Structure 1
Amino acid sequence: MSNEQNLLSRRDVMKRAVWGAGALAVGAVGTQTSAVAAGLSGNPGNLLPTGARSLKELGERLAKTPRRRDFKTVPMILTKPDEWDDAALREIIHYAGGPKQVWDNTDVSSPWLNLMRNSMNVQVWAFRHPDFLCVSATHGSAHWALYDDFIWNKYLAQMTGGKWKGNEWVKEPPAAAADPANFENPEGVFAPGDNSVTVLQRRGAVFLGCHNGIWEITEGVLKKGINPDGLSHEQMAAEFTNHLIPGVILTPGVVGTLPELQLAGFQYAK
């Protein structure tokens, strides 16, 4: 395989690892309950393809765009931009690179991460679009993959009947440690065995969170009587919001945000 064919060389891997660590330092929001807005992922050592200039610049801008994660209460319907990640969302909507695709992801048990990975592989290596932006419009049970261990330990492990004891979708599989320079490795970073929210974020994917999804999930939690602190619905929804995983961009509602993305040139996929 020639160096020209390899869109992610060893040299570039090292460069991007350094950049990713720098973005993490710049983007950290200084509270324990804050998500980290670092690049597109919140994780150092990103896996952006060679030539992804626009995607890299987007990551740098997002790294400087904090996410508010200090809510005490939130209403059912958001009406003010400071109630969601408005600045970060606008960066996505106005992304100048491309192509751009948004996945309507609703089922955590579906092959949603696999489909996103396949799409990114084809766009980057088959069609040679290194600035391809893959976005997850996440709601329904897929939104469970966007909460940290605090929420899983306090609510979701019990909510799901113990089927999952934690957020399995953010864990990096062993394949994540493989050499990314060998992108054809069937056991490697870009293979089916490496389907993970975290790895996809490191590759440049963006995961949008859904306030409506948060409201409905917490409604279900309350109906099951899982409320150790006796919180109101507004308080619990705020707590869930404050514990989104790093890199997530909160929207006022994913279904209502999809038209904004489509008007901006994003291709819809389900």
Structure 2
Amino acid sequence: MSDFLALKGKRALVTGGTKGAGLATFKLLRELGATVLTTARSRPETFPDDNFIAADLTTDDGCLSVAEATKQRLGGMDIIVHMLGGSSSPAGGFRALSDDHWYQELNLNLFPAVRLDRHLVPDMITQGQGVVIHVTSIQRELPLPESTTAYAAAKAALSTYSKALSKEVSPKGVRVVRVSPGWIETEASVHLAERLAEQAGTDYDGGKKIIMDALGGIPLGRPAKPAEVANLIAFLASDRAGSITGTEYVIDGGTVPTV
């Protein structure tokens, strides 16, 4: 892969890069030669300190501290991967969602990207090059009303913001693209499948089928691996994708049933 894809000399930031697809992306970008920083609220014990910035990106102060730290450590940025996201809202449909739940989803899934871009993209414009990758979700097109309405709406807002940003900064040398995953087989999703399997009196494969059925089926027959999502992100961040901007790439095993 390194013969085809190389990121040597590139400076990168991956938010939420300590687990799941974020960690896979962090590792792959480093493997391809980039100098990579990542951020989360706390550093895992086994994570290299030199590559980590502790911050709460759901706050403006946290985003500002990360932006300042990246400039101090790397002197600028060539690649930003906005991987941070998730949902903690309760099940129960729209009536179960309070204002606080909506704010939590927006503060986790939309505003960190908006704020970090505001702090970091101007320097990309000054240097005349850079890549910004926003990780959205197929749920912006395929929301699950029982449990993810606010999350899906926040990801839809992120996608629209990303498109607008691409139209503004692409003429200035900064590419902006979106990656839209479906179900990714992370540690958290494995635990979910195991819990559902236990409740239903079945095995892990049965638990995975419960999740796939809830999504309306995955034609490929399985979730994506974190490394597969990382592979797509690395390609889009590389010079191999030099004419790609303003578009969204779905990696969902065929889950979205429409064109």
**TM-score, shorter chain, exceeding 0.5:** no
Report 1 or 2 for greater relative contact order, CA contacts < 8 Å, sequence distance ≥ 6: 1
TM-score by length of 1: 0.31
Q: Whose strand fraction is larger, Structure 1's or Structure 2's?
A: 2
